[in-house]
Amino acid sequence: MLGSELVRRRDKKILNIKCILLGCIHFDDVIGFLSLSLAPRFFFLSFFFTTDHFAMEITKEPWGYSWRSSRILIVSSITVALFAETFLFGFLTPILSYMLEERLHIDPSQTQRYTTALLTGHGFVGLVSAPIIAYLAEKTASQKTPLLFSLAGCLVGTLMIAFSTSVWVLFTGRVLQGAAGAGTWVVGFALLANNVDKRNLGASMGMAMSFVTAGMVGGPTVSGALLQMFGYWTAWSLPLLVLALDIIARLVMIEPRPSSDKDLKTPDNSIGDENSPEESTALLSDAQPTKQSDYGVEGQGDQKRKYYKAMLSDARVLISLANVVVVASLMSGINNTLPVHLRDVFGWKSFLISMMFFCLQVPNIVLSGPAGWLRDRLGLRGPTTFGWVATVPLILLMGAPGDSHFPWAGGDAAGKSIFSCSLLALGSVLPLVRGVGAVQLACKFPDVNLSSTKLTMVSDVVKDMEAKDPRVFEANRSNLRVFSMTEVSFSLGMMLGPLLTGSLFETIGFFYMAVALGKLSSVSHQVFYPIYLRFIAFICFIQAILSWRWLDTKLPSLEAESPA
């Protein structure tokens, strides 16, 4: 009798120790994470608690659960993460030539080639890692985990780039940044889409893109200015500060607990909590449970293949993804060639080059929100088509300065004014075309045919396909797959932009240098840049026609709520 009592007490003590360990390493609670160092004294105290008492303690909600899992904080945290990712991406662009030539001692004639390789590699890493990250995130219980891993990768990659003294360290750091950025975009936008009001999806995405644009503006603007005025290491202190803010935001944020956790805590109140979507529904869970009895676990892989096959065989999906590719190609191509072009044509240094990036990106901060509001009211077709049509003459004007065919726009004050005004106007119309693919593919609206309380993350595209094969889309209503497709398209554009500009520069530059018997490569670049911009203008015009033909005239959220 005495022996069995001792065994029972020993089992209780062991269970208490295990529970404390689980509580201390629970990453959703920062306090629990920091208390790991205090674990030994907790072990001693645990012997005085019974199993039932401690089970009640560890099932309490984490500190600050109500505000740390609130919609506002989650959206704010994801917005900070997206800002940090884009800030770090653009930060390197104006100072890359300095790093290559001054720190890594690369021949200046090879600067454009290394710049192209670095930016192309960043896009390629995002292209490859985005679907992998989306797949792993679907298998993860907490979507905060991949966000923390991406933060760690971003931090390590940034430190490697800042301290790099060799080319391979620089490229390795950029690879880590590319993979971390893909994770932030895929999981972050999926969380964001789940926590915005369905009536204001376009406006919410627009506001998020405003902060994304702020990162794109802040990165290249401050890097060139700080480098020229204060030096290299002072310039790198700012991205480390941005990363510190990102770390705080991601650690403070927690996801609302699923219903199972609530049941474990208060079984008697489970019925009362069942209608609280913020606390009883996982953020990135599917809209409805998968019907395992219909096609089983093994059939889910086949359903996923059918999902992607159906999506990628629809012209509306392809045009939406093409929109993402063209926008990313345009922006990355400009990032790749703008510093060298401005240095060769106008003789500008890093500070003035940073100001041109500022002119390109700052209108997005002000106009992304109104552009999203306009899409909510008018649909995607009209604003997007107008945006693409307006980019054509602006891009052509950007290519005029430095082109011998336009003597009225040389390298003097007139050419500088034309280029600056064209770049500013281009930045003003880009909000009409940025983010269109994500809004087209991921619109929130009530599925009134099935249940008034069930939300689906599908657009008109998916709704039409669901009528043909409901099981495929009932089993695959995951934001991660939607934003995985958009991230792959974005990464493809980020890879094609530098690859296209760099390849054309090398080809055209070599030809003109051979004909001119050794003239400076800057002459070939002045010939190349207008040709590249004319090609991009043609692509934008084609995209305008396709957008008018295939994009939605109204967002599904509005159509679902319109009276019959």
Query: Considering the domain boundaries, does residue 282 fall inside one?
Result: no
Interacting residues of 398 by C-beta distance below 8 A, sequence separation 6+: 419, 422, 423, 426, 533
Query: At 29, is the secondary structure helix, strand, or coil?
Result: coil
Dig out the tokens for 316 from the structure: 């509306």
From first to last of its 564 residues, what are the pLDDT tens digits of the chain?
Answer: 555 555 555 555 554 544 444 444 343 333 333 333 333 333 333 333 333 343 334 456 677 777 877 777 877 888 888 888 888 888 888 888 889 888 998 887 788 788 888 888 888 888 888 888 888 877 777 777 888 888 889 999 999 999 998 999 999 999 999 899 888 888 887 777 666 666 655 566 666 767 777 787 778 878 888 888 888 898 899 988 988 888 888 888 876 665 444 443 444 443 334 444 444 333 333 444 444 444 444 455 566 677 777 777 777 778 888 888 888 888 877 877 777 778 777 888 778 888 888 888 778 778 877 887 887 788 778 888 888 888 888 888 887 786 667 777 766 778 888 888 888 998 888 888 877 666 566 543 333 232 222 223 335 555 566 566 666 555 444 556 776 777 788 888 888 877 776 666 555 543 333 333 333 333 444 555 566 667 777 888 888 888 887 776 555 444 444 333
43 and 74, same domain (yes or no): no
CA distance 258 to 521: 61
Query: Considering the domain boundaries, does residue 11 fall inside one?
Result: no
30 and 99, same domain (yes or no): no
115 and 198, same domain (yes or no): yes
CA distance 536 to 393: 11
38 and 131, same domain (yes or no): no
89 and 175, same domain (yes or no): yes
Return the CATH number at 509: 1.20.1250.20
CA distance 137 to 145: 8
CA distance 71 to 195: 6
Residue with tokens 């934008």: 540
CA distance 366 to 348: 27
183 and 87, same domain (yes or no): yes
106 and 201, same domain (yes or no): yes
Query: At 522, is the secondary structure helix, strand, or coil?
Result: helix
Q: How many angstroms separate the Cα of 338 from the Cα of each of 332, 409, 522, 537?
A: 10, 17, 13, 16
37 and 88, same domain (yes or no): no
Query: Considering the domain boundaries, does residue 373 fall inside one?
Result: yes
Q: Which amino acid is present at 128? A: V
CA distance 232 to 99: 9
Query: Considering the domain boundaries, does residue 165 fall inside one?
Result: yes
CA distance 512 to 199: 55
Query: Considering the domain boundaries, does residue 501 fall inside one?
Result: yes
Whole-model pTM above 0.75? no
Instruction: Tell me if 197 sits within 8 A of 348, measured CB to CB.
Output: no
140 and 96, same domain (yes or no): yes
Query: Considering the domain boundaries, does residue 143 fall inside one?
Result: yes
Residue 159 pLDDT: 93
Q: 299-304: long-range contacts at Cβ-Cβ below 8 A with a sequence spacing of 24 or more? A: 300/475, 303/471, 303/472, 303/475, 303/476, 304/475, 304/476, 304/481
Residue 520 is part of which domain span?
A: 70-251+311-561
322 and 418, same domain (yes or no): yes
382 and 245, same domain (yes or no): yes
Instruction: Tell me if 186 sits within 8 A of 81, measured CB to CB.
Output: no
Q: At 446, which helix (H) or strand (E)?
A: strand 444-446
Query: Considering the domain boundaries, does residue 278 fall inside one?
Result: no
39 and 136, same domain (yes or no): no
CA distance 263 to 127: 41
Partners of residue 100 on adjacent β-strands = none
Query: Considering the domain boundaries, does residue 268 fall inside one?
Result: no
Q: How many domains does the chain have?
A: 2
